[in-house]
Amino acid sequence: MKQTIITILLALAAVAAQAQEPFFCTDSAVVRGRIVDYSPVMGFQNLTVQVTDIFTGELKTATAEIREDGTFEKRLLLHHPILNWFYTSEIHISKQQVPFYLCPGDTLDITICFHDGDVPDCRYRGGHSAEVARLLKVRNDYLSLQKLCRFFEGDIEAYNHFADSLYTTWQRIIGAIADAHHFTSFERRLAECDMAAVFGTAYLSYFSQIQDKMAQDDPAAPYTAGNAMMERLSLPEIYPLLRRLPNND
């Protein structure tokens, strides 16, 4: 299923890239930073970021060690622009995340001031993060969206109807957030694309669950490897919601 999902996403990306600047561009990028008034007693000695390789589906973890003076530096290999977070704790991953927007070839400098909130105060120089500074101050939690898709109980037709309504709802939520925080047009588009990327992954997780059930040696399982479901899962028309995503962006 993972290979099927990757193939479908790459096919959609290839169509969207026609007559546009290429989205996929492999190059390294550097993130340098300084944490104001840093001390090891703050409870962390490094910053960690997880970057997904869209071509393989592999999730890679990169760690930046923090020096005594609060500075750090990390080089990342990117295949496309990313909207991402450094986090200070693997246990409490939702807390004190350092947001950034990074493109292949960027050199980004961040000055970070931690406080009691989830999103620290950050000043960006170089790279492209400063262009979306208002967006980076907003913490969007898509965990509920992912759970609703992954654990949906029902057939494929019912799921596609449900997912269509869910995506429409999240479009409205992102629009309201963009209005409230006075996003620029680019920040609004990036926020919409970020949500759509998360939604696309969540949406496809339901079909991954079907494959998992087919792998069960259980006569009561709803689908088995011996029926026509495997062939059906390879048909693009079974994934209509992917065409609603902003592939042109």
Cα gap 164→161, rounded to integer Å = 5
Q: Is 189 exposed, middle or buried (0-12, 13-18, 19+ CB in 10 A)?
A: middle
- Phi, psi (rounded to 5 degrees) for 34: -140, 130
**SS3 at position 216:** coil
- Phi, psi (rounded to 5 degrees) for 103: -115, 155
What is the DSSP code string of 31-66?
EEEEETT--GGGS-SEEEEEEE-TTT--EEEEEEEP
What does pLDDT average to over the chain? 82
Kindly report whether the global pTM for this prediction surpasses the value 0.85. Answer: no
CB of 70 closer than 8 Å to CB of 37: yes
Which of 112, 136, 160 represents a domain boundary (last residue)? 136
Q: In this model, does residue 12 exceed pLDDT 70?
A: no
Q: What is the pLDDT of residue 238?
A: 87
> Domain range for residue 238?
141-244
Residue 196 counted as domain residue: yes
- Tens of pLDDT, residue by residue over 129-161, are 999 999 999 877 788 888 888 889 888 999 999
How many domains are contained in the chain? 2
Among 82-91, 168-177, 215-224, name the one with the lowest average pLDDT.
Answer: 215-224
Mean pLDDT over 163-186 rounds to: 95
Same domain for 131 and 157?
no
Angle at 146 between CA 55 and CA 185, to 5 degrees: 75
Mean pLDDT over 125-129 rounds to: 92
Cα gap 84→106, rounded to integer Å = 14
Same domain for 130 and 170?
no
Q: What is the pLDDT of residue 235?
A: 80
Q: What is the pLDDT of residue 57?
A: 72
CATH of the domain at 36: 2.60.40
- Tens of pLDDT, residue by residue over 48-68, are 998 887 777 788 899 999 999
In the structure, what pLDDT confidence band is assigned to residue 107 with cuts at 50, 70 and 90?
very high
Cα gap 104→227, rounded to integer Å = 44
